[in-house]
Amino acid sequence: MLCFLLLTLHWMTVTEALQSSKEDGKRPYIYRCRSPNMEIFTCWWHPIANQDNITYTLLYTMGERAPQECPDYVSGGINSCFFDAKHTQIWEMYCMNVTAHTHTGPITSRKHCLDVVEIVETDPPFNLTYIMLNESIGEEGRNVLVSWLHPIESLVHEQLMMLVYELRYRNLAQPDNWRVMERLREPHVEFLDLPVGRYEFSVRCRTTSNKHWSVWSESIIVTINGRALSDQMLALILVTSIAIMIFLFISLGNIRRGMCRIKSFFLPAIPKPRIPGLEPALLKKGKIDEIDQHFSSFHGYRSPQYCTETCSHVSVDTRPAVTPSIIQSDGIQEDVLIRTITPSVLIGPIKQYVTCPDGQQSVQTNCTPAPYCHSPAPYSEEDTPPPYPGPAHPELTSVPGMNYSMILSPAPTTPPTQDFYTCVNGVMPSGALHLVPYLLFNQRPDDEAEKKSQLATLLEMQKEVLLSTIESNPSEAGMPS
Amino acid sequence: MKKTTVLQVCMVFVVCSLQAVIGSPVDCPDQDTAGVSCIISLEKLLERAVQHAELIHHIAEESKLLFDEMLISFGVVNLHISEGTMCSPKTVSVPMSKTEIQQISDKWLLHSVLILVQFWINPLVDVQASLMNYQNAPSALVDRSKLMSTKITSLEQGILVLIRQILGEGGLVLEGPEDTSDHFVSSDTFETVRRDYSVIYCFRKDAHKIQTLLKLLKCRQIDKENCSLF
């Protein structure tokens, strides 16, 4: 089967070749017929070679009608037949042949049949023009609108002859690279963003009903100038703008600082209190030991000593010669002695031994106004209860029921906040003063104050008891029950 | 086996296409030997006929508008054409209902179109000649009237060929109603203008009729589907 097909194909090609070769020499041969607009058409034939003075006649038939001779042998050129509008119609086929009247006899060519609509080969479009559009900044190419005119000059409506266009263009820098836009229905086309360069455009057309294209129209050259920003330029612009923005941010920050400096220059800030050589941060966050270390280098600094209730246990030096006269009556041993207070001369400042938390017993004459220490307070020897810090007199008081006695001698430079007052409550029959402690504390802890008040109340109670016994039994004066 | 069959079929296609390419454009048998002459296919003929009818209708519409503009420029405002006086003969009426359309035959269609076309050939030729005599007629109007008369003549030839092919009736050439046509030449310019205007006005309607009937015929012959006028 395959072999048979191949043989058939070969035979056909050979026959055709032979026929065409025959036509060249011995018989006239109608080789081309073309119509520009379906209203007229022309046919051309090849004459017999190497023979002159031969007349040719062309006979044609339309359908089944009688043959007619060619109406015009001239208008189409030599060896041609021109059919005008009266002789052209599109409803029937034309079949024609050419007869050469030679010396030997007439030689007739092969019959050639045609349909006028299918041999339409329009004139090429004309008046090709272009318009540059859309000059925009930042784009590399330009938009170009290329337009042309319908080739049919006579008023044959586009409806009758639907035309299809084909446009080709090339960049003249690459002359072999034609690019084609096919199947265009409108006589214009817009190119978007055509790159920089020189371009050549040309157009051709054909009717939709047949396949013969017209010849290419006259070309036009379009030059697109590069005002364009290339990619590199664009990148450069981008980088520059980013750098400018960064610079602006930094400079704004610097301006703020600069403004602060100017402000401080014109309106200097009031300096905060500072100890030269000492960092304020240390005071804020430093430990007390470190601060002590720093401060100890300063003149006259004494680190604060934090004292507890051991201050209460005071042992007093015996130097101040205070000789209380003991009221004794009937030699009754008293558990608690209430010593009278006699005005005596202040010998001197009482040295007060203070036991401090660190175990060190230091002697100090002046207690700094630490909250946990109190110095001997002055006492008053007044009759009236409101005590007033009068002249300093040493005082020895003891608390009944408590096995200690205190001699409190006021220091001349006692800070007023450390006063220890006594009030004269009454006068004993023997002439001794009955003193009641009146404690005036400032900046004492509450428990200390509470203790003192308790002491005071206790003393008060004892004295009342004593008074009552004295009143009840005057012979037993001073004898507590 | 399948593969070889496919290959053979492909080869057949190739050979046939080659033959089509190599062979002459139209292989019509010799007129001497066989009485069969080459004919254009019915499909192509109908398509061309419809195209002609559409073109004629379109040009008729444009011509009427141009004529109106021309009359306004002449200062003629109220040139009223009374309906039914000078328009097409009433013998040809277009079927409207679906049943009517189904009843009419292709023969009726073809003959109706032929009557219409033949009716208008002469009036259009006269109008074209008349417009050439106008003093200030626009060239667009003159060209269009020329085109109309040319195309309607061509369409008549086409309809005759169609009748021959579809109906098999040879040589049916209805003599146009030349006797009834009005070839009067009026010395009155106004009457001439009025007549020309009425020809264009009425022909526009009939051109639409011709187009419609031919489309219906084409639908019946080619598409063979449910064809209707709407």
Residue B69: both structure tokens together: 């503009």
Q: How far apart are CA A107 and CA A28, in angstroms?
A: 8
For residue A46, give the nearest of A140, A103, A110, A121 by alpha carbon: A110
Does A2 contact B18 at a Cβ distance shorter than 8 Å?
no
Weakest mean pLDDT among A44-58, A174-188, A237-251, A285-299: A285-299
Amino acid at A342: T
Q: How far apart are CA A306 and CA A315, in angstroms?
A: 19
Report, as an integer, the average pLDDT of B202-225. Answer: 87
Given a contact cutoff of 8 angstroms between Cβ atoms, the answer to whether A155 and B144 are in contact is: yes
Pairing between strand A112-114 and A94-101?
antiparallel
Q: Could you tell me the pLDDT band of residue B37, with boundaries at 50, 70 and 90?
A: low
CA-based angle A50:A52:A56, to the nearest 5?
110
Greatest alpha-carbon span in chain B = 88
CA gyration radius, chain B? 23
In a mutagenesis test of the A interface, which of B154, B163, B165, B166 is the best target, namely the one with the most A β-carbons within 10 Å?
Answer: B154
Q: Could you tell me the pLDDT band of residue A202, with boundaries at 50, 70 and 90?
A: very high
Q: What's the confidence (pLDDT) of residue A123?
A: 83
Weakest mean pLDDT among A1-10, A356-365, A467-476: A356-365
The residues with which A80 forms a beta bridge, in sequence order, are A44
The residues with which A426 forms a beta bridge, in sequence order, are A434
Given a contact cutoff of 8 angstroms between Cβ atoms, the answer to whether A204 and A213 are in contact is: yes
Q: How far is CA A446 from the centre of its chain?
A: 59
Q: Could you tell me the pLDDT band of residue A474, with boundaries at 50, 70 and 90?
A: low
From chain B, the residues in CB contact with A89 under 8 A are: 154, 157
Alpha helices in A124-174 (DSSP H): none
From chain A, the residues in CB contact with B55 under 8 A are: 157, 159-160
- Residue holding tokens 């008349």? B130
Report, as an integer, the average pLDDT of B146-175. Answer: 83
Average pLDDT of chain B to the nearest whole number: 77
In a mutagenesis test of the A interface, which of B5, B11, B45, B150 is the best target, namely the one with the most A β-carbons within 10 Å?
Answer: B11
Given a contact cutoff of 8 angstroms between Cβ atoms, the answer to whether B88 and B112 are in contact is: no
- Residue holding tokens 């203070």? A354
Report, as an integer, the average pLDDT of A349-358. Answer: 44
3-state secondary structure of B49: helix
Does A156 contact B147 at a Cβ distance shorter than 8 Å?
yes
Residue A351 has pLDDT above 50, yes or no: no
> Is residue A95 within 8 angstroms of chain B, CB to CB?
yes
Three-class secondary structure assignment of A116-139: HHHHECCCCCEEEEEEEECCCCCC
Report, as an integer, the average pLDDT of A222-241. Answer: 80
Residue A467 has pLDDT above 50, yes or no: yes
Does B52 contact A160 at a Cβ distance shorter than 8 Å?
yes
3-state secondary structure of A27: coil
The larger pLDDT score, comparing residue B155 to residue A431, is at: B155
Given a contact cutoff of 8 angstroms between Cβ atoms, the answer to whether A421 and A380 are in contact is: yes
Q: Phi and psi for A196 in degrees, rounded to 5? A: -65, 140
The larger pLDDT score, comparing residue A124 to residue A476, is at: A124
> Is residue A157 within 8 angstroms of chain B, CB to CB?
yes
Residue A368 has pLDDT above 90, yes or no: no
A148-197 pLDDT, tens digit per residue, is 988 765 555 555 667 889 999 999 988 899 999 999 988 899 988 888 88
Q: How far apart are CA A361 and CA A82, in angstroms?
A: 149
Q: How far apart are CA A395 and CA A379, in angstroms?
A: 7
Residue B141: both structure tokens together: 């109007």
Amino acid at A74: V
Q: Phi and psi for A288 in degrees, rounded to 5? A: -65, -30
Report, as an integer, the average pLDDT of A421-428. Answer: 72
Residue A441 has pLDDT above 70, yes or no: no
**Quick one: DSSP state of residue B71?**
H
The larger pLDDT score, comparing residue A419 to residue B188, is at: B188
Q: How crowded is residue A452: how many other Cβ atoms within 10 Å of its Cβ? A: 18
Q: What's the confidence (pLDDT) of residue B134?
A: 83
A66-100 pLDDT, tens digit per residue, is 999 999 999 989 999 999 999 999 999 999 999 99
From chain A, the residues in CB contact with B150 under 8 A are: 85
Residue B78 has pLDDT above 80, yes or no: no
For residue A124, give the nearest of A87, A172, A168 by alpha carbon: A168
Q: What's the confidence (pLDDT) of residue A119?
A: 87
For residue B130, give the nearest of B37, B39, B200, B31 by alpha carbon: B200
Closest residue of chain B to A2, computed from CA coordinates: B8
Q: Phi and psi for A190 in degrees, rounded to 5? A: -110, 130
Q: Could you tell me the pLDDT band of residue A135, with boundaries at 50, 70 and 90?
A: low
Q: How far apart are CA A366 and CA A348, in angstroms?
A: 13
> Is residue A117 within 8 angstroms of chain B, CB to CB?
yes
Q: Could you tell me the pLDDT band of residue B171, with boundaries at 50, 70 and 90?
A: low
Inter-chain CB pairs, A–B, below 8 Å? 84
The predicted model scores a pTM of 0.55
Q: How crowded is residue B16: how many other Cβ atoms within 10 Å of its Cβ? A: 10
For residue A307, give the nearest of A350, A369, A351, A370 by alpha carbon: A370
Does A1 contact B161 at a Cβ distance shorter than 8 Å?
no
Does B38 contact A2 at a Cβ distance shorter than 8 Å?
no
Q: What's the confidence (pLDDT) of residue A465?
A: 83
Q: What's the confidence (pLDDT) of residue A396?
A: 56
Q: What's the confidence (pLDDT) of residue A93?
A: 92
Q: Phi and psi for A339 in degrees, rounded to 5? A: -90, 145
A218 CA: distance to closest CA in chain B (Å): 29
Q: What's the confidence (pLDDT) of residue A378?
A: 43
- Residue holding tokens 């703008």? A241
3-state secondary structure of A252: helix
Report, as an integer, the average pLDDT of B157-186. Answer: 68
B113 CA: distance to closest CA in chain A (Å): 16
Residue A20 has pLDDT above 80, yes or no: no
Q: How far apart are CA A331 and CA A215, in angstroms?
A: 162
From chain B, the residues in CB contact with A90 under 8 A are: 48, 154, 158
* Start-to-end C-alpha separation, chain A: 158
**Quick one: DSSP state of residue A339?**
B
B123-152 pLDDT, tens digit per residue, is 999 999 998 888 878 888 888 899 899 999
ipTM for the complex shown: 0.79
Which are the contacts of A419, defined by CB distance < 8 A and separation ≥ 6? Answer: A377, A378, A389, A440
Does B40 contact A89 at a Cβ distance shorter than 8 Å?
no
In a mutagenesis test of the A interface, which of B51, B153, B160, B211 is the best target, namely the one with the most A β-carbons within 10 Å?
Answer: B51
For residue A162, give the nearest of A151, A174, A172, A171 by alpha carbon: A151
**Quick one: DSSP state of residue A120?**
B
Of B4, B22, B38, the CB nearest to A95: B38
B167 CA: distance to closest CA in chain A (Å): 16
Does B157 contact A114 at a Cβ distance shorter than 8 Å?
no
Give the orientation angle of helix B139-162 with respect to helix B106-132, to 10 degrees.
150
A280-306 pLDDT, tens digit per residue, is 676 677 677 777 776 777 677 766 665
The most confident of A108-112, A317-321, B25-29, by mean pLDDT: A108-112
For residue B15, give the nearest of A21, A14, A13 by alpha carbon: A13
Report, as an integer, the average pLDDT of A125-133. Answer: 88
Does A64 contact B37 at a Cβ distance shorter than 8 Å?
yes
For residue A84, give the nearest of A98, A73, A96 by alpha carbon: A73
> Is residue A4 within 8 angstroms of chain B, CB to CB?
no
A383-416 pLDDT, tens digit per residue, is 444 444 444 455 555 555 555 555 555 444 444 4
> Is residue A18 within 8 angstroms of chain B, CB to CB?
no
Q: How far is CA A273 from the centre of its chain?
A: 42
